[in-house]
């Protein structure tokens, strides 16, 4: 009985899934609940997102980070297949080609991530929604093009709202790390409404006002999550790209409870709870 030998593409997709496990646990766990073919392709998409999202953590100055983002932009603006640029690029460009994913979407994701490299404050909630739209929301829409291409247009609104909610939850999870290096993702108009500015928030001297600002931000995320929930797809295939957002509500609710205490409190669900929540969401198609 003959057995097929793994191809270079098989190895590349295996690399994506195994590497994703260490860089983005939530999306890795979501992948494990997907059909094998979808899991392979989504793992490449998710790993690309994880790689550009963590660039700030791997560089000391913005310029090397911009160079890394430019490396990806050059790949997407070129005509190559990514085959000679490493396993992630090989797998990702195979997915881009097979599903005819718009390269401009990846270019905009890279452009949005330039914000991560600097310590500029997020000016307003509208700016935050724009940032989330080009990153987390775009990721869901690209996932729809993989898992359920016919559903992309019908569920664009749900993808937009779910992505903003995910981005808020991510910013709350990483708020201690961001604040330690002088970053503030909480929009300035919310800080102003709470009686703070960027420096006062980073100083963390006025707990009552920081409580108010974090409550406002988490509530903003929950509002978007509720809007997404009302517009979610009913088919399993179309729901798959929304699956990682099933962990968002827990984070937002814990942030609402912890408020300023989240700087010393773990608000991410543990792995067993995360696995159960994802499994339940897939069965019920709910966030």
Q: Would residue 3 count as lying in a domain?
A: no
pLDDT of residue 78: 85
pLDDT of residue 5: 46
> 123-148: buried (b, 16+ CB within 10 Å) or exposed (e) per residue?
eebeebbebbbbbbbbbbbbbbbbbb
Predicted pLDDT of residue 6: 60
Is 113 part of a structural domain of the chain? no
Both 181 and 248 in a single domain? yes
242 and 232 Cβ atoms separated by less than 8 Å? yes
Residues of the chain with pLDDT under 50: 1-3, 5
Q: DSSP string spanning 61-106?
A: SHHHHHHHHHHHHHHHHSS--STTS-HHHHHHHHHHHHHT--HHHH
Q: Does one domain contain both 139 and 261?
A: yes
DSSP-assigned letter for residue 174: T
Same domain, 276 and 136: yes
Which domain covers residue 277, as residue numbers? 119-287
Q: Which of 71, 100, 129 is the last residue in one of the domains?
A: 100
202 C-beta neighbours (distance < 10 Å), count: 18
Residue 112 within any structural domain of the chain: no
In the prediction, which pLDDT does 138 show?
Answer: 98
| Residues comprising the chain, all counted | 287
Residues 131 and 260 in one domain: yes
Q: By C-alpha distance, which of 78, 68, 34 is closest to 48?
A: 68
How many domains does the chain fold into? 2
Q: Do both 287 and 148 map to the same domain?
A: yes
In a shared domain, residues 210 and 278: yes
186 and 276, same domain (yes or no): yes
In a domain? residue 151: yes
What the block records as the tokens of 138 is 């775009």
Give whole-number Cα distances, 101 to 68, 133, 142, 237, 244, in Å. 22, 17, 7, 17, 20
Residue 80 confidence (pLDDT) = 61
pLDDT of residue 169: 98
What DSSP designation does 261 have? G
> 187 and 52 in one domain?
no
Q: What is the CATH number of the domain that holds 209?
A: 1.10.600.10
Shared domain check, 286 and 168: yes
Listed residues 100, 134, 158: the one ending a domain: 100
Looking at the fold, whether 178 and 287 belong to one and the same domain comes out as: yes
Q: Is the dihedral of CA 157, 158, 161, 163 positive or negative?
A: negative
């Amino acid at each position: 009985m003959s057995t097929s030998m793994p191809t270079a593409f098989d190895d590349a997709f295996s690399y994506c899934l195994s590497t994703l496990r260490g860089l983005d646990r939530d999306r890795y766990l979501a992948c494990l609940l997907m059909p094998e073919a979808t899991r392979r392709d989504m793992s490449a998409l998710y790993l690309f997102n994880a790689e550009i999202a963590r660039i700030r953590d791997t560089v000391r100055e913005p310029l090397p980070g911009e160079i890394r983002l430019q490396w990806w932009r050059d790949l997407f603006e070129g005509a190559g297949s990514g085959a000679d640029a490493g396993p992630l690029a090989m797998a990702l460009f195979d997915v881009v080609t097979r599903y005819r994913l718009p390269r401009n979407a990846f270019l905009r994701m890279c452009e949005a991530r330039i914000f991560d490299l600097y310590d500029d404050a997020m000016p307003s909630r509208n700016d935050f929604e724009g940032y989330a739209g080009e990153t987390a929301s775009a990721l869901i829409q690209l996932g729809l093009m993989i898992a359920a291409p016919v559903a992309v247009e019908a569920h664009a609104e749900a993808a937009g709202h779910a992505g903003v909610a995910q981005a808020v939850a991510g910013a709350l999870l990483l708020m201690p790390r961001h604040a330690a290096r002088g970053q503030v993702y909480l929009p300035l108009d919310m800080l102003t409404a709470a009686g703070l500015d960027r420096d006062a928030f980073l100083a963390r001297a006025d707990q009552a006002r920081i409580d108010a600002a974090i409550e406002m931000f988490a509530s903003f995320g929950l509002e978007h999550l509720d809007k997404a929930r009302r517009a979610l797809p009913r088919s399993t295939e179309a729901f798959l790209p929304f699956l990682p957002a099933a962990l968002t509500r827990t984070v937002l609710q814990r942030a609402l409870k912890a408020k300023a205490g989240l700087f010393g409190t773990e608000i991410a669900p543990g792995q067993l709870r995360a696995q159960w929540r994802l499994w339940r969401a897939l069965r019920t198609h709910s966030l």
